[in-house]
Amino acid sequence: MEISGAEIVIRCLHEENVKFVFGYPGGAVLNIYDAIFTQDKFKHILVRHEQAAVHAADAYARATGDVGVALVTSGPGATNAITGIATAYMDSIPLVVISGQVPTPAIGLDAFQEVDMIGITRPCVKHNFLVKDIKDIATTMKKAFFIAATGRPGPVVVDIPKDITAQLANFEYPKSVELRSYTPILKGHSGQIKKAIKLMLDAKRPMIYAGGGVVLGDASGELIKIAQRLGFPVTNTLMGLGGYPATDKQFVGMLGMHGTLEANMAMQDCDVLVAIGARFDDRVIGNPEHFFNKNRTIIHIDVDPSSISKRVKVDVPIVGHVQSVLTEMNELLDAETRAPDAVALKAWWTQIEEWRGRNCLSYNRNSEIIKPQYVIEKLWEVTKGDAYVTSDVGQHQMWAAQYYKFDKPRRWINSGGLGTMGVGLPYAMGVQFADPTAQVACVTGEGSIQMNIQELSTCKQFHLPIKVILLNNRYLGMVRQWQQFFYENRYSESYMDSLPDFVKLAESYGHVGMNIEKPGDVEGALTEAFNLKDRFVFMNFLTDQNENVFPMVPNGKGLSEIILAEEL
Amino acid sequence: MKHIISILMENEAGALSRVAGLFSARAYNIESLTVAPTEDATLSRMTIVTSGSDEVIEQIIKQLNKLIDVVKVLDLNDGRFIERELMLVKVKATGPFRDEMKRMCDIFRGRIIDVADGSYTIELTGSGSKLDAFLEALDNAAILETVRTGASGIGRGDRILKL
């Protein structure tokens, strides 16, 4: 039986077991929305802005590991989605974004709400498709989901002209799809893996540096196994937090620009570095020349060959899925008679403990003004370390990363690569849909939250019991911090004037609002908020305006040139 | 160092822009780029002449391989290869130039493919450097117009880029 192109799109989503589609209707996708009206296999979540639709789908993917799906109309709907797509691309998140397009005969004629979505998204997608024949919808959708989820994951855009969704054709969903030009490598090279094991066993000052690939590749269990059997110190990147349990004694904290002293010093001073699903980002290793002032042998495991030797030349590259490679390493170690050099390792740990003893994350606990770090510590306690924490971008993001000890992967949801302000609230929505009974906290700033504040309405419509933890310092804090350090206190346009009354704003959407102004009220307010299990609570914490994020490796400096709070 | 990179890619709309976009987005050089379908109508063959350090060339190859439409990539400079480019030059052919141009064309084994009262059009093939040498050998004032295809390259002997 012939069905419409729109129905074919919906059937494809059913075949892919999609549970949620985040979207916003418009002219070019009206046929698809009409087909959505008569189905109930997935739930459509109507957001208030297309950017939020893509962010929510992205967070759903981060929290579950499934492919997130967003649906937007042509023109402005499509362009509004771009920030969301670029955000997902930078963090390798599997997404399928379906955009409507003007009818085929109108393409290229500057039609109403026409934009070259394929052209605009090309630099920020893993791949994109323009469907020009109704017979291609099913195979294109199959390919889109396949490409998004495999190899190094990423967003895929499927642009479908309106006339194609109106035409009729038979539907048959391909069982599998093969692309001669796309065959991601799963298994690492055995010779390289053996070489790596030997180097690891010979190491005197080993270090494991694990990134987002461990989380995305579901390799946390294998990482814990290999790290604990070898007794090596482990650091996580911002994207890798939760990939190794933060409360474990072998964890030395996050590394990088706002990483711990112990993580950055160990990264600089180690003799064998095992990089797993990480990409030596500029925020992670600082100045690459300084990084190479010290000699070390680098083993790099990554599913994407282009991530290897991009910024940092490595000695033992292993291209493969991190889970597969780590499993193979663990199997080799099962059969291994040698153990790491216990004496050398002990001396190394003594050194690391000395760095750790500097207590680089200490802050003034006697302040009469609320310290943002304190709020995050209490959030961790009140949620028993088991919440999903989404964040926006800025100082609050760094404090959340530093002070919330993530013990599980897929619990820390933030925009690492693109650094997109405004993701926090839509991220919390995506996560809450993925896990409706979970505790979901959105740690944000008064700058970031206003970039997608309209989603308070979506949260009302779907009764999402998110807790917003607004660390309100009335400044674009990270901008102010840089202006203080590098621009002689010239706080150009970083003061956030004319803020709304956030409590009233929340209440106007039917949510609960709270103002918290004293350190003594922090814990009680958090407890009260999380006890309101079925309510959205907007918590406005008035925090110290002058607090800065430490430690800090200034831009262009090396990891060991790290500045601690006490040194200023 | 100059490298000639051969690419087999899906003969699909937009594939060329993916490659060109990659080069501009990542600030890689393109000296020339040529593309045309192969004997297999589903595949296009592209030749890119680029330059960069070994690290940059390694990244270019990896990034090209990462593009979904790219089926195979070969750095011709990794082995022995032949490079050819076609150039059409329109030159002044008046007075003393008329004999001079014919002579230069013969020396470089070009062919005059169009003759007009005041001009010749010369067809010349060879490596890029041979074409450069020809242009240098001509009196600059005599050159009315040049058009070059950009380099095509192919491996020598058993070096074959095919599916």
* Average pLDDT, rounded, for chain B: 95
| pLDDT at res. A402 | 98
* Domain A190-356, CATH: 3.40.50.1220
- Domain-by-domain residue ranges, chain B? 2-78, 82-152
Active-site residue, from A16, A20, A22, A50: A50
Q: What is the pLDDT of residues A445-475, one digit of tens each?
A: 999 999 999 999 999 999 999 999 999 999 9
- Which among B9, B13, B63 has CB closest to A306? B63
Query: With an 8 Å Cβ cutoff, is B46 touching chain A?
Result: no
Please report residues of B whose CB lies closer than 8 A to that of A147. Answer: 68
Q: In this predicted model, what pLDDT tens digit does every residue of A511-556 receive, in sequence order?
A: 999 999 999 999 999 999 999 999 999 999 999 999 999 999 998 9
How high does pLDDT run on average in chain A?
97
Measure the CA–CA gap between A60 and A427, rounded to whole angstroms: 8
CA separation for the pair A155, A393 (Å, rounded): 21
Question: Between A123, A130, A309, which is nearest B21 by CB?
Answer: A123
Between positions 122 and 161 of A, the ones with CB within 8 A of B are: 122-123, 126-127, 130, 147
Considering the candidates A429, A478, A539, A552, report the single residue annotated as catalytic. A478
Q: Report the CATH architecture of A2-170.
A: 3-Layer(aba) Sandwich (3.40)
Query: What superfamily would CATH give domain A372-549?
Result: Thiamin diphosphate (ThDP)-binding fold, Pyr/PP domains (3.40.50.970)
Instruction: Report domain B2-78's class.
Output: alpha beta
| CA–CA dist A114, A110 (Å, integer) | 6
Q: How is residue A557 written in tokens? A: 């400096």
- Alpha carbon distance A329, A346 (integer Å): 23
Per residue in A47-104, pLDDT (tens digit) is 999 999 999 999 999 999 999 999 999 999 999 999 999 999 999 999 999 999 999 9
Share of chain A above pLDDT 90, in %: 98
Asked if B138 and B127 count as a contact pair (C-beta separation under 8 A), the reply is no
**CB B147 within 8 Å of CB B88:** yes
Same fold flag, B2-78 and B82-152: yes
DSSP designation for A552: B
In which band, very low, low, confident or very high, does the pLDDT at A174 lie, cut at 50, 70 and 90? Answer: very high
What does the pLDDT look like over A125-164, one tens digit per residue? 999 999 999 999 999 999 999 999 999 999 999 999 999 9
pLDDT at position B13 is: 87
Enumerate the domain spans of chain A: 2-170, 190-356, 372-549
CB contact under 8 A, A181 and B70: yes
Of the candidates B18, B58, B163, the beta carbon closest to that of A122 is on B18
Active site residue A50: yes
Give the CA radius of gyration of chain A. Answer: 24
pLDDT at A567: 75
| Average pLDDT of the segment spanning A190-211 | 98
Task: Name the active-site residue from A112, A228, A354, A566.
Answer: A112
A358 interfaces chain B, CB cutoff of 8 Å = no
Helix intervals (H) in A234-341: 261-269, 282-285, 288-291, 322-334
Instruction: Indicate which residue of A15, A19, A42, A113 is catalytic.
Output: A113
- Write out pLDDT tens, residues A262-302: 999 999 999 999 999 999 999 999 999 999 999 999 999 99
Say what the pLDDT of residue A568 is. Answer: 67
pLDDT band for position B74 (cuts 50, 70, 90):
very high
- Encode pLDDT of B99-114 as tens digits: 999 999 999 999 999 9
Find the DSSP H helices in A220-306: 220-230, 261-269, 282-285, 288-291
Each residue of A229-268: pLDDT tens digit?
Answer: 999 999 999 999 999 999 999 999 999 999 999 999 999 9
On the question of a common fold for A2-170 and A372-549, the answer reads: yes
In chain B, whose CA is at the least distance from the CA of A313? B55
How many cross-chain Cβ pairs, A to B, lie less than 8 Å apart?
38
Contact A306/B62, CB-based, under 8 Å? yes
Architecture of domain B82-152: 2-Layer Sandwich (3.30)
- Nearest by CB: B71 against A127, A180, A304: A180
Is the per-residue pLDDT at B58 higher than 90?
yes
Q: What average pLDDT does this structure show over A9-24? A: 98
